[in-house]
Amino acid sequence: MEELEAYADIGLSYCSYEVENFTDITFGDIDDCPDLPISPSDGVLYRCFPSSIIGEASKLINTEWFKKALADIKSSWREICYLCAISIGLAIVMMVVLRFFAGVVIWFMVVFFIMGSIGGSGYLWYQWFLRKRDLDEIPVEEQLDSDKQNVKTMLIYASVTSGVTVILLLLLFVMRKRIALVVALFKESGKAIGAIPLLLLQPFWTFLALAILTCYWIGVFLYLTTSGEPVAQEDGRVEYQQEKIIEYMWWYHLFGLFWGSQFMIACQQFVIASAISIWFFTRDKSTLGWPILRSVGRVLRYHLGSIAFGSLLIALVMFARFVLGYIQSKLKGSQNELLKYILKCLQCCLWCFEKVLKFINRNAYIEIAIHGYSFCKAAKEAFAVLISNALRVAAINSVGDFLLFLGKVAVAASVVVIGLEFLQDDPDVNYYAVPIALAAIFALLISHIFLSVYEMAIDTLFLCFCEDCKANDGIVKPYYMSKDLMKFVENAAKARAALEKRERVVLT
């Protein structure tokens, strides 16, 4: 009671605002004051929250470091905005660099990898030689078992490393032409995006659509959570009890989130693939027109069902993974280790299956964009093309993806360096790592958005190249591909000669 009066004297009241005299009050959830004793609370951002709800989070939020970090963000918001703008410019510069210097970077990576593998193997053999020499200088009866084991272990390391190096060198020798194809595809992707620069905006429209879907989902989720039938209690209170169907509606609503989000991502992939394929199969690039609008028209008029079906398959797997995760959370206190192990194995298998399904779907959308197939036929054709070009696919997914990853890291690292120059001497900033980290995260996100378009363009051009090779011979039926890509077909010399002959005829 004394605590309630003390709080009321300083303008803070746990009780109803009408309470002035504390000599005659009632306690309880629907009376003047809450039940005593009052549970402890913590201040979070100048608001009181029950300690049982906040838990350990309040300790972090109320630390001096967290408060100073918030102050740093407030005082350096202009610099953060500048760094975000710089990251957008750097991401565009990185795409230009990949177009013109991808070959230099890729072949430098290959040479560096070869030299590193050979150097690592040589270093291990040299270490084995030194240990073996030192061991031989010791009399046999004085040699320790640990020294002998170290020499033997070093010999095993050197032998295994040398074997792996030889295998990798053979693979690089076999795949040298495929790596050169990756370089050509990077250059062609740069040309395609340069001809259709508005493709870079597609991820932003997708992000906006996903944000709207998420807001809608949260709103419906709140309605579902707070819905129920009023039931009067014996003490006069009224409680709202949920009907059983509401629980099923929650699961249905969650599945809708998975399906809707995957559908929007699939639409983005199809629009990019369709625009790039239109560019590839247009001989006179000056008559390209509006490929993005044509691609959107294709989606709305012909292929909504295929995209919905493909996204449905992924949503089903994601939903199954969520259900398994829900079951795992319920079994945390269980002693049945076998069941936990089985669930973890199922979770791993579903994760792998989801990755494979997304890869097949991605290429199926490209086939749909090229030929207008239904989803199942497109997935079958895409799988057949990928299997028949397995080494080329391996080169693209290894060398190409690693190069794109390096591009993302380079953009973020550049933003960090520039941010250090901006903020390291700012007296108003306590921890300049906090605003720099925010800018670096934004830079990673922006570079991922831009380079994801580049990645989709590379995959689309690769399948267009394969389909062009399958449908045409370059002589009677001329190829659609450029001269740079024509170097990688079997009859490259004849096809180039036929192309040059047609060009001379056109000029005359």
Q: What is the pLDDT of residues 238-276, one digit of tens each?
A: 677 777 777 788 888 999 999 999 999 999 999 999 999
Q: Give one DSSP letter per residue of 274-303, joined into a string.
A: HHHHHHHT-SSGGG---HHHHHHHHIIIII
pLDDT confidence bin for 39, thresholds 50/70/90: low
The pLDDT value given to residue 88: 86
The pLDDT value given to residue 105: 77
Burial class of residue 188 (count of CB atoms within 10 Å of its CB; 0-12, 13-18, 19+): buried
Residues of the chain above pLDDT 90, percent: 19
Q: Which range in 165-174, 184-193, 273-282, 338-347 is most confidently predicted, on average pLDDT?
A: 273-282
Q: CA 310: distance to chain centroid?
A: 19
| Contact call for residues 488 and 181 (beta carbons, < 8 A) | yes
How far apart, in whole angstroms, are the C-alpha atoms of residue 416 and residue 413? 5
The pLDDT value given to residue 278: 92
234-242 long-range contacts (CB < 8 A, ≥24 apart) are: 236/30, 237/29, 237/30
3-state helix, strand, coil in the chain (%, to 5): 80, 5, 20
* Residue 141 DSSP code: G
| Contact call for residues 119 and 126 (beta carbons, < 8 A) | no
Please write the tens of the pLDDT for every residue from 334-346.
Answer: 777 788 888 889 9
Averaged over 428-455, what is the pLDDT? Answer: 81
| Contact call for residues 15 and 25 (beta carbons, < 8 A) | yes
pLDDT confidence bin for 349, thresholds 50/70/90: very high
150-156 long-range contacts (CB < 8 A, ≥24 apart) are: 154/124, 154/127, 154/128, 155/128
pTM, to two decimals: 0.75
The pLDDT value given to residue 30: 44
H/E stretch holding 175 reads none
Averaged over 92-113, what is the pLDDT? Answer: 79
| Contact call for residues 361 and 303 (beta carbons, < 8 A) | no
Tokens of 103: 């070959």
**CA within 13 Å, CB half, 73:** 9
Of 278, 289, 296, 279, whose CA–CA distance to 206 is shortest? 296
Amino acid at 69: A
How far CA 8 is from CA of 3, 12, 14, 215, in Å, comes to 9, 5, 8, 39
Averaged over 34-52, what is the pLDDT? Answer: 59
Who wins on pLDDT, 94 or 322? Answer: 322
* Range of lowest pLDDT (161-165, 191-195, 352-356, 472-476): 472-476
Q: Peptide bond preceding 40: is omega within 30 degrees of 0, i.e. cis?
A: no
| Contact call for residues 309 and 365 (beta carbons, < 8 A) | no
* Range of lowest pLDDT (30-44, 210-224, 301-315): 30-44
The pLDDT value given to residue 38: 61
Tokens of 478: 């001329």
